[in-house]
Amino acid sequence: MIMEEIIQQIVNGVSLGSIYALIALGYTMVYGIIKLINFAHGDIYMIGAYVGFALTTFLKLGFFPALILSMVICAILGVIIEKVAYKPIRNSTRIAALITAISVSLFLEYGMMYFFKPDTRTFPSLLPDKQIKIFNTDAVLDIKNVYIIVVTISLMLLLQYVIHRTKVGKAMRAVSLDRDAAQLMGIDINKTISNTFAIGSALAGAAGVLVGTYYNSINPLMGVVPGLKAFVAAVIGGIGIIPGAVFGGFFLGITETTISSLGGSLYKDAVAFAILILVLLLKPNGFLGKDVKEKV
Amino acid sequence: MLELKDLHVYYGGIHALKGIDIKVNEGEIVTLVGANGSGKTTTLRTISGLETLKSGNILFKGKDLKKVTASEIVKMGISHVPEGRRVFADMSVYENLEIGAFTRKDKSEIEKDIQNIYSLFPILYERKNQSASTLSGGEQQMLAIGRALLSRPELLLLDEPSMGLAPLIVKDIFDIIVDINKKGTTILLVEQNANMALQCANRAYIIKNGKIELEGKASELLNHDEVKNAYLGG
């Protein structure tokens, strides 16, 4: 019985963690390249869920077409946000950029409420309602968990490929390591920043559709808490470091479900932020971050 | 090939370049010598489009570079080895070289050029899979030069290649610079090490407080009293 409980919680934790990881990847990539905490990122995830909702409810698309289209639309939205809101203030202070990001976040949340009503909507059931027993125990694996985990892992592998093997990815790494030197190699900074926003936002859009199908309900403020949690995940792993975001996401997801299953579900958010405080105190560069000393 | 005409650049409120005129002819090694803060690095950064000029012109092969972005300038044939080498620390030596060819699409030619760089700097071949941060200063300088050559530049800008290197290695680096020039790349070299720079250059400019103080044949400046006193240690 105990064993089943543990397996069940691990499955839940990994599913939740993969959502955090998907969102955290966008945070960390954008931070890596322009040193901006893009607080509007959680809202792109919300928009992804709404786009998925519209495509499946009104256009009756299936899960995968909706997932891919939603990723594309979020990518475009991310690029537009960068061009309209962040590019004009790229050379101003960090605090100005941060305030802009918060404004964009509020704009998206309340814009959605204004145009598409603040009500919670029911996301259609897209995936078969099937449960699989794990290893002949009583622990069950919902097919939805399988979809979440498989889609997330595939996207991460794809991202890994893009970043290490393609020109677009190499340009992104070069710009985040040294922007001036990257320009001297002939890399177009504006294009590379746009690409980063596109990829990060597409991942958030995918997370939105996955969560919509998993919990069957979406609302305009659904991005706030997962957005903050994903930010915590990115910091835990070391912000700006891509494997760190994945690690932080899974770590946070598994920790939260463990706390909940031990009867502390009321405190799971508090625990997440307590972990953030501990990480900032003890390992401010994150678990996978290097201790970099500022050169004077 | 390259002509700077009455270049004025402000650097964070400071009038860093106050009317610079420099000419680099095809096939030459031209050196720009001066003390710390005299405007050498700013001159190079302005040529490659990292700084914006207030007034004046930069002509490269007759074309004005004023409105051209940094990445376009690389495509036009100018490559810049920045001060402090600035290799991509978390990337391998091979990846650094590969990214030097970012503007090119001819894959097999790029691979050939990388092999050429390995034969020019055998140590880079030995360390090709190591991350660039593990290289010594001299090796990093070689990598930075190799990386810059991979865009197949017609004009190579070098910013203090001798900085922080042991004298023996400085000599190697300068031999290689002369070698690169002999193979057909024009070079504009910025140096504090006036002695080495004047020995390998054809012509030289002495810069002080954002203005050109002296110009002439490198061999003549090497024996010029004022230069001797100010830059060659008497």
Percent of chain B beyond pLDDT 70?
99
Domain locations in chain A? 2-282
Q: Which residues of A touch B68 (CB under 8 A)?
A: none
Residue A169's closest chain B neighbor by CA?
Answer: B99
Bridge partners of B188, per DSSP, are B30, B157
Per residue of chain A (296 residues), what is the pLDDT tens digit?
A: 677 888 888 889 999 999 999 999 999 999 999 999 999 999 999 999 999 999 999 999 999 999 999 999 999 999 999 999 999 999 899 999 999 999 999 999 999 999 999 999 999 888 887 887 777 777 778 888 999 999 999 999 999 999 999 999 999 999 999 999 999 999 999 999 999 999 999 999 999 999 999 999 999 999 999 999 999 999 999 998 999 999 999 999 999 999 998 888 888 889 999 999 999 999 989 998 876 655 44
Which residue out of B75, B102, B157 would a mutagenesis test of the A interface target, given it has the greatest number of A Cβ atoms within 10 Å?
A: B102
Distance in angstroms (rounded) separating the CA atoms of residues A208 and A59: 18
Q: Which of A173, A177, A183 sits opposite B70 (nearest CB)?
A: A183
Residue tagged 């960090």 (tokens) = A94
Residue B86's closest chain A neighbor by CA?
Answer: A181
Bridge partners of B3, per DSSP, are B23, B59
Q: Which of B71, B86, B148 sits opposite A178 (nearest CB)?
A: B86
| Interface contact flag, B102 A171, Cβ < 8 Å | yes
Q: What is the mean pLDDT of residues B174-178?
A: 95
Please list, in sequence order, all residues whose beta carbon lies within 8 angstroms of the beta carbon of residue B57, skipping any fewer than 6 positions away.
B3, B4, B5, B6, B7, B64, B66
Which residue out of B44, B65, B96, B99 would a mutagenesis test of the A interface target, given it has the greatest number of A Cβ atoms within 10 Å?
A: B99
Q: Is residue B125 a contact partner of residue B156, using CB atoms and an 8 Å limit?
A: no
Residue type, A112: M
Q: Which domains does chain B have, with CATH numbers?
A: 25-51+69-231 (3.40.50.300)
Q: Which residues of B touch A167 (CB under 8 A)?
A: 102
Tell me whether A168 touches chain B (CB under 8 Å): no
- Inter-chain contacts counted by CB atoms under 8 A, chains A and B: 62
Q: Is residue B56 a contact partner of residue B31, using CB atoms and an 8 Å limit?
A: no
Q: Which residues of B touch A292 (CB under 8 A)?
A: none
Half-sphere exposure of B185 (CA within 13 A, CB side): 26
**pLDDT score for A293:** 58
Q: Is residue B41 a contact partner of residue B207, using CB atoms and an 8 Å limit?
A: no
Tokens describing residue A53: 């909702």
Bridge partners of B137, per DSSP, are none
At residue B64, what are phi and psi to the nearest 5 degrees? -80, 130
State the pTM of this model: 0.92
Tell me whether B80 touches chain A (CB under 8 Å): yes
Considering only residues 11 to 50 of chain B, which have any Cβ-Cβ distance to chain A shorter than 8 Å? 48-50
Q: What is the pLDDT of residues B61-97, one digit of tens each?
A: 999 998 899 999 999 999 999 999 999 999 999 999 9
Taking only Cα atoms into account, the Rg of chain B, rounded to an integer number of angstroms, comes to 17
Top CATH class of A2-282 equals mainly alpha
CA-based nearest residue to B197, from B225, B224, B169, B178: B178
